[in-house]
Amino acid sequence: QKEVEQNSGPLSVPEGAIASLNCTYSDRGSQSFFWYRQYSGKSPELIMFIYSNGDKEDGRFTAQLNKASQYVSLLIRDSQPSDSATYLCAARTTTGRRALTFGSGTRLQVQP
Amino acid sequence: GAGVSQTPSNKVTEKGKYVELRCDPISGHTALYWYRQSLGQGPEFLIYFQGTGAADDSGLPNDRFFAVRPEGSVSTLKIQRTERGDSAVYLCASSLGFVGSTDTQYFGPGTRLTVL
């Protein structure tokens, strides 16, 4: 079992819709979670992080964390074609350890 | 300000050769990380430096891989006796390095290594 799991997709949504990207993790000691966006052929770009249960909003993006269910999600409101990319979920999985453990990413396609 | 930079952007080598990949972190970032990413996968951790010392090298796959950061800034990832399975994009990231869950890593553009 991978430590951080994501559905590979592609997830296809129409322009203007809400895209919902999900991630589960296996290590209950995980402290913080990061969402990165990666365009084809480019490096990961940080969108936002979350470490407390509940929702955290930043512009069109909302991250949600449920530690009891070991579940993290990213909502993208008013999706745009420029949001089409692979979204990587990452966890800092052990207290005191700095390395991030990444999922394989979910490919999002926003249809104009 | 300048982000993380990596050189070269592409490296093609032959099986058995030695390669060096360079990373220049964001100014003021004390923590530096190396990851590698294969097609269709997320980045996989290799090694983490805090200052000049390798604080966590648990991700290095074998003793052909080695990294240094002699002055606490630029880092070099060294791969000896390259194998075709080493072909991947090697990503460098840096962060401020403070203790806490929210210390955020910023990635460079990567070096695409191809071993023929």
Q: What's the pLDDT tens digit per position in B18-28? A: 999 999 999 99
Q: Given this model, what pLDDT does residue B97 score?
A: 84
Share of chain A above pLDDT 90, in %: 84
Given a cut of 70, is residue A38 above it in pLDDT? yes
Q: Best residue in B30, B37, B50 to probe A by mutation, most A CBs within 10 Å? A: B37
Cis peptide bond upstream of A10, omega within 30: yes
Chain B residues close to A104, C-beta within 8 Å? 40-42
- Inter-chain residue contact A34 with B55, CB threshold 8 Å: no
Phi, psi of A83 (to 5 degrees): -80, -10
d(CA B52, nearest CA chain A) in Å = 16
A82 by DSSP, 3-state: which?
A: helix
- Inter-chain residue contact A98 with B109, CB threshold 8 Å: no
Chain B residues close to A48, C-beta within 8 Å? none
Q: Given this model, what pLDDT does residue A95 score?
A: 63
Residue in A46, A51, A88 nearest the CB of B42: A88
Instruction: Supply the mean pLDDT for chain A.
Output: 94
d(C-alpha B98, C-alpha B108), whole Å: 20
Which residue in chain A has the smallest CA separation from B96?
A98
- Inter-chain residue contact B56 with A46, CB threshold 8 Å: no
Q: Where are the beta strands (DSSP E) in chain A?
A: 4-5, 11-14, 19-25, 32-38, 45-50, 54-58, 61-66, 71-76, 85-92, 101-102, 106-111
The residues, ordered by sequence, that sit 6+ positions from A94 with a Cβ below 8 Å of its Cβ are A27, A29, A30
Report which listed range, A24-28, A71-75, B94-98, is most confident: A71-75
d(C-alpha B90, C-alpha B38), whole Å: 9
Q: Any idea how long chain A is?
A: 112
Q: A45 and chain B: CB distance < 8 Å anywhere?
A: yes
Q: Best residue in B5, B47, B57, B107 to probe A by mutation, most A CBs within 10 Å? A: B107
d(C-alpha B36, C-alpha A47), whole Å: 20
